[in-house]
Amino acid sequence: MAMNSNITLNFHLEMASQDIAISLMRLAIGNLEILEKSGIEVEYFELRLQPMEQGKKKVYIKIDGDNRTFIETDISFRWDSAFLAAFERILEQFVQSEKRVNPVRHELNYA
């Protein structure tokens, strides 16, 4: 199967730290590469990050690929935790459709 040469990326990041935003975009791109290497043709990826009350962070992820659309959200006190939880649920949906992939994991540097 030939890999899709076109992908639309949509990032909507409401955060004060440029370093954390860049780290999260790298995390997203790394996980998209895993999907592509696994043979899943991602056509559209959307990531929305929104701060909430009491220090909570909300992550919304939408992925269109292989004629399917997956949308997940998660809320956590850490951006990377919310991202990974939502992304892992999307990966589980791919696993259920017999496409096995593993997410890229790393901690963000909050220093």
The total number of structural domains in the chain stands at: 1
Whether residue 68 lies inside any domain: the answer is yes
Q: What is the pTM of this model?
A: 0.79
Where residue 92 sits, what CATH number does that domain have?
Answer: 3.30.160.100
**What are the tens digits of pLDDT across the range 35-94?**
888 778 889 999 999 999 999 999 999 999 878 889 999 999 999 999 999 999 988 887
Exposed e or buried b per residue across 51-81, where buried means at least 16 C-beta atoms within 10 angstroms of its C-beta: eeeeeebbbbbbbbbbeeebebebebeebbb
The token duo for 43 is 């056509």
Whether residue 41 lies inside any domain: the answer is yes
Whether residue 43 lies inside any domain: the answer is yes
